[in-house]
Structure 1
Amino acid sequence: MVHYIAPKGEFISFVDDEDYISKGLEWKLFTARSVKRELLYKSGSYQGKVKLAGYEQYGNGLDTVIVEFENGMLSCINPSYLKEMQSANFGKELLSGPVSDVTSISSETKTEKEASMTKPSKPLSEDHPKKEKTKSKKATAKPKLDLPAEKVHFTAIIKEFTAKMNHFTGEEDEVILLSEVKVTTEPELAIGDAWCGYSKTLKKAELEEGDQIEFDGKVVDKKYNKEIRYKVNNPSKLVKRVEA
């Protein structure tokens, strides 16, 4: 049978589609112009499709990918090894036999290689539940705010000018990181850290780090990174605040 290497308890699931694309690019499983929702899994005479379910992360900065088979079973695999499986020449000599539904890995060497490239764990038996409840990043993140649906008035402080990779264009977009972001329109709401695009309009304001500003805009749930979850869209009517 396929040698499933079960996740060691809870694992990290993807926050959203952007997080999925970011990790997939980091592992080099696909390109920004060709994002894949299904990947090939090849082992012995078996070849099938799997989906990325999440990953395990360790202190040394290495990730182990969790894949979900078509039968619902979960298994760990090294991302570099999964990347190799996408090659047309991968295991060509082993795939000359008949392809079965959920078949065995005929090569003990191949099994040992998979096991050595992933974090050791007890194999998952067929009697084991197909899926375990997982703890996603959302479960450990701060509670989601009830964001206003309409454009509102904000106050904030310019924290940093930086850039963010646009995975759809393959280029970096200029952005501004904001701190102490607060909705001053009733009902007031403390956002904390947020980010926005560094548009031509904002560039005309000649902003500097540390500037206290107020402006109109719409806040949405779109993360910059793990710590900065919210984005302000189309900031306008920007005014620098001067302390008395």
Structure 2
Amino acid sequence: MAIILPHIEDLNRTAYLPPEGDIQTFIDDDHYAEMVKEWGLSSGKNVKKEFWYKEKDHQRLVTIKGYQSYGTTGEFYTIIIEFQDGNLSCIHPAYLKEMQSSSFGKAVIADSAPAVQTAGRETEPVEPAKEKKAPPAEKKVSASPKKTAEKKEKAPKLELPADKVHFTAEVKQFALTWNPFNEENDEVVVLENVVIQQDPVIEIGLAWCSHSKTLKKLELSPGDKLEFDGKIVKKKLAKGKDAEEAFIIEEPVHYKVNNPSKIHKS
């Protein structure tokens, strides 16, 4: 396959947003495929390895180096892309997905008016005066802030291992979770009595994982006991949209197991 090298002009025009802090990398190819499909960037058997990064006047090929999660439960992602010259930049998964469309960037931007020609000289367009807004009304303070705070769901404070570890767990049920990137429900497996088998052991309680092809081959049923290796992260299970009652999880699940492997069922 021919390597497409960027023009030097494209390198100078690209607006990089370098990542700050640690980057989460993929455990292996299966974990990469799972995350890329979750972000809606690839589908089918052949998982994409290269993607187009597009700006108004140029486009460049990039690969996904890793990601960073944020939010109170780590349910949101920023993708870290790597350009062919080695530069790293941050981008939202939905925006990178939008860039893969052939129609991206073709829309005319209404507010990009050309400069006005005056006496043979080019001058910048005058910005319209901004409408003055009334100052925001003062927010009313709740009479019982403690009660409001108590209603918020809080995950138990656990120090999660960064590497792959060995788990024991039981299948609680199957559920559907809404995936905002491909705008459809994904099927997941909800696990209970999840324990990280190390010294000392860490009791997780409830966790969830994608109902991957590997798990489907095991023909799991509620009550099945499992042993497996995997990596656990803090990520809350979102409820599915318009899901049947049998596929709704009522309890909050704050942890996700990524890419379970070496699975034994009993």
TM-score, normalised relative to structure 2: 0.44
Higher relative CO (Cα under 8 Å, sequence separation at least 6) belongs to 1
